[in-house]
Amino acid sequence: MRRRNALSRRIDTQKQLEGALADALTLLELGETEQDEDTVLEAEREIARLEAKMQKAQLESLLSGEADANSCYLEVNAGAGGTEAQDWAEILLRMYNRWAEAHEYKTERMEESAGEEAGIKSASILIKGDNAYGWLKGEAGVHRLVRISPFDSQARRHTSFASVWVYPEIEDEIEIDIQEKDVRVDTYRASGAGGQHVNKTDSAVRLTHIPTGIVVQCQSERSQHKNRASAWKMLRARLYEHELRKREAEAEAEAAGKTGIGWGHQIRSYVLQPYRMVKDLRTGVEKGNTQGVLDGDLDDFLEAALAHKLGGKQPAGAGA
């Protein structure tokens, strides 16, 4: 039913665009026949608006991967660099939360490990909504920040790294074969706000899949039983995503989808000092409004990543 509804929405969008374009062309022809400049300008503005909508619909048509329509989990991990890197990881997490909020996606915190002085060591959130994975899967990789560190008394410029991992939420009907002997289960005390219960019982759960080295953890619930169930669901999703990426790499006969996640393969630089610029190192898209990007304005980057599938054509507005 979800697949059917998605196809139905695409067909409706196509019909609406075709009808609106026919009306705009009729209006343009009428204005030219009567030499009415205002009517011609109105028709041209409508055609330009429809072109932008068409380009967006064309990009959305690329969200046709096996799991693109799903909600997704997003993990952020601070790199080496102590407090500065942990603060950068928290800024990234806030950026994705802001993006999700602007697009009316719901978010749910699954796990968060606070830094010693500021920021976070790691965090996982669930972003719920149609096409969340399709839009965000290209964000997986290493993100680099260059700025004057607020934690440096000598006001020196620091370079910090944080990694992002994105994987789809999967339906219970999809069977993922996991041998319990291949999974190490650890429990520990949750951290962060949460009242008297937090830090008094081992309610948080960490699962390590030994064959792949994949690790997931959950501390969103007060009950260890609920956290364990959520962690197993996250592990199934991670293994599912792992298989999807492996298949994609084999089909494309290249490791681009996999190496982009490696620690030494940064995908985007956020430079706040000595100049202000955010640049995607894969698509070349640049934005000078760094604060806007850190407040969640990521659409140009996400659309450019999808546009690569159209032979490198960049969507309108990208690079502004």
Q: So what CATH class is 180-251? A: alpha beta
319 has a pLDDT exceeding 60: no
DSSP-based three-state secondary structure for 159: strand
Q: What's the distance, Cα to Cα, between the start and end of the chain in Å?
A: 38
d(CA 247, CA 244): 5
Q: Which CATH class is domain 72-168+257-310?
A: alpha beta
On the CB side of 226, how many CA atoms lie within 13 Å of its CA? 7
- pLDDT at 265 exceeding the cut of 80: no
Beta bridge partners of 186: 206
Burial label, 73 (beta-carbon count in 10 A; 0-12, 13-18, 19+): buried
Q: What is the pLDDT of residue 291?
A: 95
pLDDT tens-digit readout, 92-128: 999 999 999 999 999 999 989 988 888 999 999 999 9
What is the share, in percent, of the chain residues with pLDDT greater than 90? 42
Decide which of 45 and 305 is more confident.
45
Average pLDDT taken over every residue of the chain: 83
Structure tokens, 278:
């955010």
Task: Note whether 163 and 263 are within 8 A (CB).
Answer: yes
8 Å CB contact between 155 and 251: no
Q: How many CB atoms lie within 10 A of CB 154?
A: 6
CA distance 301 to 285: 7
**How many of the other CB atoms lie within 10 Å of CB of 83?**
18
CB 166 within 8 A of CB 74: yes
pTM: 0.70
> Facing residues of 268 across strands?
143, 280
Q: Where are the domains of the chain?
A: 2-60, 72-168+257-310, 180-251
Least confident window among 177-181, 199-203, 221-225? 199-203
Burial of residue 169 (CB within 10 Å: 0-12, 13-18, 19+) is buried
Query: Residue 281 and residue 212: Cα distance in Å, rounded?
Result: 28
